[in-house]
Copies of this chain bind each other. A is one copy, B any other.
């Protein structure tokens, strides 16, 4: 008898010398990162923002789409897109990063979407705040979790499901949490959750439920797959782990010079230049960025540009460098106001989440 178990294997960690599998490549071919040169744009243009789509992009008719709000509320609601657009409208610039960013650089490598460092983007999300809607529905006094369900449907580790993620009530009521229907001033694209998605500034991407169709308030903890099984920091398969929530600090270098097609190593002419990039954290504002040109042996402070996008957007940094002929390994690390920074040793866990190990950008500076 054929069942969903016939398409789905258990989670696993690659063997010590195991190269990228055909299944990982298949995911990489569809879920793309930001090309690192696009760190030049403060707001990431359409099509360059990272994408992680668990199942298929669903076929949603915006005209027929409605959001339902139910569960432990006094007044269940149903709002179509027109009704949502009539509500107060706000725009937040928000850096989104996949919780699995950096996974393919871990040793050993958790087998899943094989991100290097590029699963990030910074966009302007426009929509209506969630909290007033929840208050209108009237949360039960003992409400605990708020479950967000998307229109995307698939199987994961043998569990057939609509994509669902819950937030604790206190997080769902944060004033900056949005029901977004526009990205960068245009209607949402299909792959970014059209016609409606959740935006939870500061949290990793798994919380920003796309193709949002239902909100359900629970008076007990949500035990769905994406909260209870998938997005947890565990050391081994038996470890219950802790939930993945906010984005750890990270700085990325915009690779200087020009690349080799195949190796993506960089070529630079010698002389003075400016090296720059972006830095962000979901815990607190970035307060400092340090840059290395020797693979982490020594560090110099970068200058932070003025913030351009509020508390949840990345921030540009820059540093002057006199490029001398030879090979160099560049990297940067961010520090945020909570004191968090990026580790020099990999923060390994079995899902490969929240890995903010410092990037390595190999640069060859040509002879004079």
Chain A 254-281 interface 0/1 with B at a Cβ cutoff of 8 Å (1 = within)? 0100111111111100000000000000
What residues of chain B lie closer than 8 Å to A191, measured between beta carbons? 35, 38, 45, 47-48
Q: Would you call B326 and A25 a contact (CB within 8 A)?
A: no
Beyond A19-B19, A25-B28, A160-B267, is A154–B260 a contact (Cβ under 8 Å)? Answer: yes
Interface residues in A1-19 (C-beta closer than 8 Å to B) = 1-4, 6-9, 18-19
A184 → B minimal CB distance (Å): 11
A77 at interface by CB-CB < 8 Å:
no
Contacts of A24 in B (CB 8 A): 20, 25
Number of identical monomers bound together in the oligomeric complex: 2
The residue of chain B having its C-beta at the shortest distance from the C-beta of A48 within the complex is B191
A116 contacts partner chain B, Cβ-Cβ < 8 Å? yes
- Is the CB of A90 closer than 8 A to any CB of chain B? no
Binary flags per residue of A64-85, CB closer than 8 Å to B gives 1, else 0: 0000000000000000000000
A112 within 8 A of B: yes
Q: How many residues of A sit at the interface, in one of the four size bands?
A: 35 or more
Roughly how many angstroms separate A26 CA and B255 CA in the complex, as a whole number? 14
A7-B263, A59-B40, A367-B2 known; A25-B189 Cβ under 8 A: no
Q: Are A258 and B32 in contact (CB under 8 A)?
A: no
A104 CB contact (under 8 Å) in B25, B53, B365 = B25
Name A's interface SS: loop
Cβ of A156 within 8 Å of any chain B Cβ, yes or no, is: yes
Can you list, as one digit per residue, whether each of A303-338 has a CB less than 8 Å from chain B (1) or not (0)? 000000000000000000000011100000000000
Interface 0/1 of A25-67, CB less than 8 Å to B: 1111111110111101100011111010111110100000000
A contact set with B: CB distance below 8 Å: 1-4, 6-9, 18-33, 35-38, 40-41, 45-49, 51, 53-57, 59, 104, 111-112, 114-116, 118, 153-157, 160, 189-192, 255, 258-267, 325-327, 362, 364-367
